[in-house]
C-alpha cells in the first residue's frame, strides 16, 4: 500500500487523492512539519474540514503530554494521542514512510483511530483488576470460613464431649427405668450433634475444593477396610455385610473415597435393617469402575432418588440418626473424582447405591 501511495504521490496533490481516499484509514502528507495533504478519513478522525488541516503544523494536533515523545521519537510506527477540533483526545496508531511530494522529500503518515481498541484494553484491565480483587477476597473469605469452621468444631465438640461423658457416668449409676430412657435419649441427641458438626465441617471444606490429590489405590483393599470397620455396627442391628469384591480393582483416587462406601453401607444399616443383609459388589467397564451397595429394605421412592443427594435432604424416617449431609458429601467426593453417584431399585426389593469413577489406565 505504501509503495503504491508513494508512486501516486510523487507528482502532485490531485493524483494522490484517488488512492488515498480509498484507504479506510487517515492519510496525511507532512512536509517540513506542515500538513500538505489529508484525506477524508483523517478529517473525520480529527473532525476538521480537510481545508482547515492544510497548512497546519502536524505537531499542533498532538496532545500536549505527547508532544515531547513525538519530537524525540525515531520509530516509523508509534502510538500517540491527537486533539480533535473540539479538543477531545483521540488515541491513534501512526505508521510513517518517506515519500516524494511535489518533487521534494516528505512523510506520509497512515493514521488509524484506536479509540475502541483502547477502550477495550482499559475495560479488560479494569476487569482483570476486579478479578484479582475478587480472587483475593474469595481467598480471604475461604480462609476465614475454614478458620470459623475449625473454631466452631473445636468449641462445639468440646462441651458436647463433656456432656456425653457426664451422661455415660449417670447411665452407669442409674437404675430407674424412666430416667435411663431419658438419659439414653440425651446420649443419642449428643451423638447426633457430634455427627452434624463433623459432617457440616467436612461438607463445607469439600465445597471449597476444586480437585483432590490422587494416588494408585486398590478398591478391593479399601472396601475390605470399610466392611471390617462397619461389621460390628451391622451385627448390633442383626445384619450382615456380604463383600463380593474379590478381585483387585486398581484406580486413581484419594483415600477419602472410602467415605462414600462407608456412607452407603452405614445408610443401609440405618434405613434397611429389615433386609437383614447388605451386598457389596463392583464391576469394571471399558472406561469406568462401579461400586454397588445393595440393601433389601423398603427402597427409595422415585421422587426421592435425586433429592437425597442434595444438601440437608433426608428421607422421613422417625428415630433414624443422621444429619442429612452424608449423601451430599458422597456426591461431592465423587464429583472431585470426575465420577458420579445415584440410586436405583433393587430386586425384589430394596435400593442399590452406585458410585462410578473413571477406570485407571496404566
- pLDDT tens sequence across 260-271: 999 999 999 988
Low-confidence ranges of the chain (pLDDT < 50): 1-15, 18, 315-323
CATH assignment of 215-358, given 1.10.357.10, 3.30.465.10, 3.40.50.920, 3.30.565.10? 3.30.565.10
Other Cβ atoms within 10 Å of 336 Cβ, number: 18
Distance CA 60, CA 76 (A): 19
Smallest CA-to-CA distance from 27 within 105, 114, 77, 96 is with 96
Contact 267, 241 (CB under 8 A): no
**Homologous superfamily in CATH for domain 2-113:** PAS domain (3.30.450.20)
| H-assigned helices in 174-252 | 177-207, 219-236
Question: Half-sphere exposure of 67 toward its Cβ, with a 13 Å CA cutoff?
Answer: 10
CA 150 to chain centre: 24
> Shortest CA distance to 237 belongs to which of 265, 183, 276, 211?
276
Cβ neighbour number for residue 171 with a 10 Å cutoff:
14
| Length in residues, the chain | 362
Q: Are 8 and 16 in contact (CB under 8 A)?
A: yes
pLDDT digits (tens, 9 = 90+) for 13-54: 444 554 777 788 999 999 999 999 999 999 999 999 999 999
At 26 the pLDDT is 93
DSSP state of 89: E
Cα(264)–Cα(326) distance, integer angstroms: 9
The dihedral formed by the CA atoms of 176, 177, 179 and 184, expressed in degrees to the nearest 10? 130
Please report the pLDDT score of residue 12 as a whole number: 42
Amino acid at each position: 500500500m505504501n509503495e503504491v501511495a508513494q508512486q501516486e504521490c510523487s507528482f502532485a496533490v490531485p493524483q494522490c487523492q484517488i488512492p488515498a481516499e480509498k484507504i479506510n484509514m487517515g492519510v496525511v502528507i507532512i512536509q517540513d512539519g506542515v500538513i500538505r495533504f489529508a484525506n477524508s478519513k483523517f478529517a473525520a478522525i480529527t473532525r476538521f474540514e480537510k481545508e482547515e488541516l492544510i497548512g497546519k503544523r502536524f505537531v499542533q494536533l498532538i496532545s500536549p503530554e505527547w508532544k515531547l515523545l513525538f519530537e524525540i521519537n525515531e520509530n516509523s510506527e508509534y502510538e500517540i494521542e491527537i486533539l480533535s477540533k473540539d479538543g477531545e483526545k483521540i488515541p491513534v496508531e501512526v505508521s510513517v514512510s518517506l515519500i516524494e511530494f511535489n518533487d521534494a522529500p516528505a512523510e506520509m503518515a497512515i493514521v488509524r483511530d484506536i479509540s475502541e481498541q483502547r477502550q477495550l484494553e482499559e475495560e479488560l484491565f479494569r476487569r482483570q483488576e476486579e478479578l484479582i480483587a475478587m480472587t483475593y477476597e474469595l481467598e480471604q473469605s475461604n480462609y476465614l470460613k475454614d478458620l470459623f469452621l475449625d473454631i466452631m468444631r473445636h468449641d462445639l465438640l468440646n462441651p458436647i464431649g463433656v456432656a456425653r461423658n457426664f451422661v455415660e457416668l449417670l447411665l452407669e449409676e442409674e437404675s430407674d427405668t424412666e430416667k435411663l430412657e431419658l438419659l439414653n435419649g440425651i446420649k443419642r441427641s449428643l451423638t447426633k450433634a457430634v455427627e452434624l458438626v463433623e459432617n457440616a465441617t467436612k461438607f463445607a471444606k469439600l465445597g471449597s475444593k476444586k480437585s483432590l490429590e490422587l494416588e494408585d489405590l486398590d478398591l478391593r483393599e479399601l472396601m475390605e477396610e470399610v466392611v471390617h470397620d462397619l461389621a460390628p455396627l451391622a451385627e448390633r442391628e442383626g445384619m450382615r455385610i456380604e463383600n463380593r469384591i474379590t478381585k483387585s480393582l486398581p484406580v486413581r483416587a484419594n483415600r477419602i473415597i472410602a467415605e462414600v462406601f462407608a456412607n452407603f453401607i452405614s445408610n443401609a444399616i440405618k434405613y434397611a435393617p429389615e433386609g437383614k443383609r447388605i451386598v457389596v459388589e463392583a464391576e469394571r467397564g471399558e472406561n469406568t469402575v462401579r461400586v454397588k451397595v445393595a440393601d433389601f429394605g423398603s427402597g427409595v421412592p422415585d421422587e426421592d432418588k435425586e433429592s437425597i443427594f442434595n444438601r440437608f435432604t433426608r428421607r422421613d424416617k422417625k428415630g433414624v440418626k443422621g444429619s442429612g449431609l452424608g449423601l451430599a458429601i458422597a456426591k461431592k467426593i465423587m464429583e472431585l473424582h470426575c465420577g458420579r453417584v445415584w440410586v436405583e431399585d433393587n430386586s425384589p426389593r430394596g435400593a442399590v447405591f452406585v458410585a462410578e469413577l473413571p477406570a485407571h489406565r496404566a
